[in-house]
Chains A and B, each alone.
Chain A
Amino acid sequence: MQKGLFSALLQLADDHLVLGHRLSEWCGHAPMLEEDLALPNIALDLIGQARSLYTYAGEIEGVGRDEDALAFCRIEREYQNLLICELPNGDFAQTILRQFYFSSFMLLFWEQAQNSSDATVAAVAGKAIKEAKYHRRHCGEWVIRLGDGTDESARRMQASCEILEPYLGELFNNSYGSLEISQSGVLPDRSLLQEPWLIDVMEVFQAANLNIPDLTHAHKGGREGRHTEAMGHLLAQLQYMQRSFPDMAW
């Protein structure tokens, strides 16, 4: 049980850290000043959620690893994030669409997790719900604006749908650890969230004139540490300081 919980918390924490890392790359380079503020703000929320999850995972593991040991000092094969989180940002349409997909899913996830039998998970969820709701709204609005904007924005949004499509199925897979703990009421069963998630996506996609994604052909492997080629480069930046100057206080 504890091993399963550790693994499930680590997976969630990795999702948030890695996606927060990607979003933070936009800081200073966004299409307008408002998005130079909004994207890092979302990144900040995701990294905040990752910190709570890593800290709790470290307590559950019980061997003295803190948030930084878990976030920075593992090898690539030990990171268990969803592949969609590590994909390079692409253009603004792709970044926004990925964030909409993720936040829509996480909102449903946290809404259930706030009733967790585990008090710490319930507390993390309670705070994360408010943030995920804002992220989903902000990105959902952009999906509609871009899908129903100009010909170019519609083309880019549809292209992003196609790029991200094979990475969606993984959102709904219960890995070994997470299935075990969903059965004990600690975290939601991810497979049950697919239907409400599709309903949410369909509502926005209808307003955005976009085609509903097909989840049949899904890439997977993130939960087993089998990553895309982009991951090592991301970690090279993320881990740069901890690798160059190990065991120091910052």
Chain B
Amino acid sequence: MYSQGLIGAGSENKETPEFLAAFQARIDADEKIEPNDQMPAAYRKTLIRQIGQHAHSEIVGMLPEGNWITRAPTLRRKAALLAKVQDEGGHGLYLYSAAETLGVSRKEMTEELISGRAKYSSIFNYPTQTWADIGAIGWLVDGAAIMNQVPLCRCSYGPYARAMIRVCKEESFHQRQGYEIILTLAEGSEAQKDMAQDALNRWWWPSLMMFGPPDGESPNSDQSTLWKIKRFTNDELRQKFVDATVPQALRLGLSLPDEALKWNETQERYDYGEIDWDEFWNVVKGHGPLNKERVAARKKAWDEGAWVRDAAMAHAKKVSQLNITPIAAE
């Protein structure tokens, strides 16, 4: 476990007003907080929760896209999708590592996920029904993720900020790849255009929900802003996403499933309709189309893989006891 031997992780800080003020002064001076630094317990807890949820989202996100690898329409698309899903797994790996610097193990985080206690991005509880959904996920879901994640490259916690720099570069590539899938469909046959429009209709609103509840109903926002974990509010990011994405959809000749959507000349932004927050909370609370299936799939992989992990540990132990060169397969 990466956190072993960390000075700050195991010990309780005395959170005197002086300590808290000195910590806030470091944040205000845009200093990065590093794993060995003293930090308030609540700062640590907030980051463990957020980075853990982020890692879980990457891992659960492999499932809806993985659903199309064996059915991708061409070899080029198949190779790109495999590489993309593999990137998402890689993001999960860096993020779990970043969280481990705060004193939690990947195993503990995984157990939280498969027990259903940990949250992950609700968007992955919707099914990928057609090939166009793979385009829509890249374009809209990764597009929304980028809006959320680019500011995290400047987050006050060093390991998270640094992980996000690489993650954002790859997400930006995925977003363009997704858009290119939809572009190809939009320029294709009637059946392909219909497939693209249908995917946009189904993924648009859940994508807007990815930014979380409206400002004022977001319980962790204020403190996270003070700590510079969060740099923009949910509604600010949502608006940026709408403003960036609507022209992209129009350029494809697709329409957005929102009758209230219109350009606001004075504000220089798109106004959009009311989000169905009942649906949002319903999915967050575990009642979305595939919440149970997603967690069950991760649990199955973890449970059925236990004998493999045990064998790897047992073998490593034998090797270290014999003090022989590990694995002589080459």
Partners in one complex: yes
By a beta-carbon cutoff of 8 Å, the part of chain A in contact with chain B is 17, 21, 24-25, 27-37, 40-41, 43-44, 47-48, 50-51, 54, 67-68, 71-72, 91-92, 136-137, 140-141, 143-146, 148-150, 152-153, 156, 204, 207, 237-238, 240-242, 245, 248-250
Which 8 A-B residue pairs are closest in the complex by CB-CB distance?
A: A31-B305, A149-B311, A140-B329, A153-B311, A241-B73, A31-B308, A28-B62, A250-B73
Q: Which residues of A have CB within 8 Å of B160?
A: none
By a beta-carbon cutoff of 8 Å, the part of chain B in contact with chain A is 59, 62-63, 66, 69-79, 82-83, 85-86, 89-90, 92-93, 96, 106, 131, 181, 184-185, 188-189, 191-192, 297, 300-302, 304-312, 314-316, 318, 327-330
Number of A-B contacts (CB under 8 A): 155
Q: List 25 A-B residue pairs with CB atoms under 8 Å apart, sorted by A's residue number.
A: A24-B70, A27-B82, A28-B85, A29-B301, A31-B301, A31-B302, A31-B308, A31-B309, A32-B308, A40-B82, A40-B89, A44-B83, A47-B79, A71-B75, A140-B329, A140-B330, A148-B315, A149-B312, A149-B314, A149-B315, A153-B307, A153-B311, A207-B328, A238-B70, A250-B74
Cβ-closest chain B residue relative to A51: B75
Q: Which residues of A have CB within 8 Å of B73?
A: 241-242, 245, 248, 250
> Please, how many angstroms separate the alpha-carbon atoms of A67 and B59 in the complex?
32
Q: Are B86 and A40 in contact (CB under 8 A)?
A: yes
**A29-B300, A32-B308 known; A68-B70 Cβ under 8 A:** no
Distance from A51 Cβ to chain B, minimum over Cβ atoms (Å): 5
**A47-B78, A248-B189 known; A33-B315 Cβ under 8 A:** no
Q: Which residues of A have CB within 8 Å of B71?
A: 237-238, 240-241
> Please, how many angstroms separate the alpha-carbon atoms of A29 and B308 in the complex?
13
> Please, how many angstroms separate the alpha-carbon atoms of A249 and B329 in the complex?
44
Partner of B69, one of A24, A31, A242: A24
Q: SS class of chain A's interface: helix, strand, loop or mixed?
A: helix
Cβ-closest chain B residue relative to A245: B191
> Please, how many angstroms separate the alpha-carbon atoms of A43 and B85 in the complex?
12
Partner of A44, one of B79, B96, B304: B79
Cβ-closest chain A residue relative to B326: A141
Distance from B178 Cβ to chain A, minimum over Cβ atoms (Å): 13
Q: Are B86 and A41 in contact (CB under 8 A)?
A: yes
Cβ-closest chain A residue relative to B302: A31
Partner of A92, one of B92, B305, B330: B305
Partner of B308, one of A47, A146, A245: A146
Q: Are B59 and A33 in contact (CB under 8 A)?
A: yes
Q: Are A145 and B297 in contact (CB under 8 A)?
A: no
Q: Which residues of A have CB within 8 Å of B297?
A: 28-29
Q: Are A28 and B329 in contact (CB under 8 A)?
A: no
**A24-B70, A28-B62, A29-B300 known; A145-B312 Cβ under 8 A:** yes
Q: Are B62 and A27 in contact (CB under 8 A)?
A: yes
Q: Which residues of A have CB within 8 Å of B191?
A: 245, 248
> Please, how many angstroms separate the alpha-carbon atoms of A34 and B92 in the complex?
10
Cβ-closest chain B residue relative to A68: B74
**A33-B59, A249-B184 known; A144-B327 Cβ under 8 A:** yes
**A21-B70, A40-B85 known; A68-B308 Cβ under 8 A:** no
